[in-house]
Amino acid sequence: MAAPPRTDARTDSYDLDDLRRRVLPQDGGTVDDTVPQLARADPGLCGMALALADGTVLASEQADAPVSVQSAVKPFLFALALLDTGGAALDRVGIEPTGEAYDAIKLEGGTGRPPNPMVNAGALLTASLVRGDDVEARSARVLEGLSAFAGSELAVDDDVARSEHLLGDRNHALAHLMRAEGALEVGADDAVAVYARACAVLVDARRLAVMGATLALGGRNPVTGDQVVPREVARDVVSVMATCGVYDGSGRWMRSVGVPAKSSVSGAVVLSATGVLGAAVISPPLDEQGTSVRGHVASELLSRELDLHAFGSRRG
């Protein structure tokens, strides 16, 4: 019997503006204020996009509104670190969930490695493992890699990068702790600088959905056709998104949405439904775990209406 179709008419004609209208009344949560640029975000912003396996991108109103990617960059930094180290990055960072906040000052017991690549310690480390001899070269490599995932040339918001670098005291603390444990091989300040620039890359829902789709579709960007990372790298990254992507809310997310995802303090959420699609929702007000409130509700509805739950899907 032929394999069931991975996209279908229901997905192709999904009405994201209707979904957006349904989630807009959810006005809970608070906008992050860790850097002034994020504190100024419009709490009413809500943009959504889906990127399908055939390269079609569906978008709602406000799907082109830019925000800094923040922690939604972490799966992609992990992917680039795996690619650039030929997989050796897996020896340098754990892959177990922490049950703690994203910026917890905590390393893996016994090894001194960061617990996983989806929390700040891990992303500081993976950003230090991408190819490049200094901050500039690694930052350029990160931007080039993220652009390949997005199928579009991305840019850094320099103001956000400066604020993240200056105000990221917990990130500096984590970098120094990892140096002390022998886990981080580059200078602590250099590690924070590259990570801060990575968090400050501007995305919108449309581009972020394509990035999520590239991971969901075995590392191949469905819009450009580029094989951005090998299939095994995409598989490893999505596996860790599934268990650690929503920090200490990952278990509840997996039950209620069932699609590997990564949240961030700018309110961006990226989802990778393996073999089917990538999605993004961007809406700044956050719940206590630092996940977009509308992003979570929209993801639940999307998962239910498009039958995306990894463990409850009726797809073949």
Is position 174 an interface residue for ligand GLN (rule: CB under 6 A)?
Answer: no
According to the binding rule CB under 6 A, does residue 163 interact with ligand GLN? no
Residue 37 engages ligand GLN in binding (rule: CB under 6 A): no
Per-residue binder mask for ligand GLN (CB under 6 A), 189-208, x = binder: ----------x---------
Select the span of 3-11, 164-172, 209-217, 221-229 touching ligand GLN (CB under 6 A).
164-172
Strands 268-273 and 277-282: antiparallel
Tell me if 164 contacts ligand GLN by CB under 6 A.
Answer: yes
By CB under 6 A, is residue 171 in contact with ligand GLN? yes
By beta carbon distance, the residue nearest ligand GLN is 71
Tokens representing 167? 């105000």
| CB-nearer residue toward ligand GLN: 219 or 290 | 290
Q: What are phi and psi of 129, to 5 degrees?
A: -95, -10
Position 290 contacts ligand GLN (CB under 6 A): yes
Rank residues 121 and 150 by Cβ distance to ligand GLN and give the closer one. Answer: 121
Q: Which is nearer to ligand GLN, 70 or 303 (CB)?
A: 70
Among 11, 62, 120, 292, which residue sits at the site for ligand GLN (rule: CB under 6 A)? Answer: 120
**Minimum distance of ligand GLN from residue 311's CB (angstroms):** 26
Does residue 168 interact with ligand GLN by CB under 6 A? yes
Q: Quick one: CA torsion of 198, 203, 205, 210, rounded to 10 degrees?
A: -70
Instruction: Tell me: does residue 285 bind ligand GLN (CB under 6 A).
Output: no
Count of residues making up the chain: 316
| Residue reference for tokens 């089917």 | 276
Q: Which helix (H) or strand (E) holds 277?
A: strand 277-282
Side chain identity at residue 199, one-letter code: C
State the pairing for strand pair 202-203/261-263. Answer: unpaired
Residue 19 binds ligand GLN (CB under 6 A) = no
Residue 10 burial (C-beta neighbours within 10 Å; 0-12, 13-18, 19+):
exposed
Residues facing 286 on adjacent strands: 30, 292
Of 90-98, 133-141, 163-171, 174-182, the segment contacting ligand GLN by CB under 6 A is 163-171
- 245 to 274, contacts with ligand GLN by CB under 6 A? 264-265
Q: Does the footprint of ligand GLN cover residue 71 (CB under 6 A)?
A: yes
Minimum Å distance from CB 288 to ligand GLN?
12
Any contact of residue 284 with ligand GLN (CB under 6 A)? no
The CA distance from 14 to 292, in Å, is: 22
Nearer Cβ to ligand GLN, position 19 or 199?
Answer: 199
- The residue ranges that bind ligand GLN (CB under 6 A) are 70-71, 102-103, 120, 164, 168, 171, 199, 264-265, 290
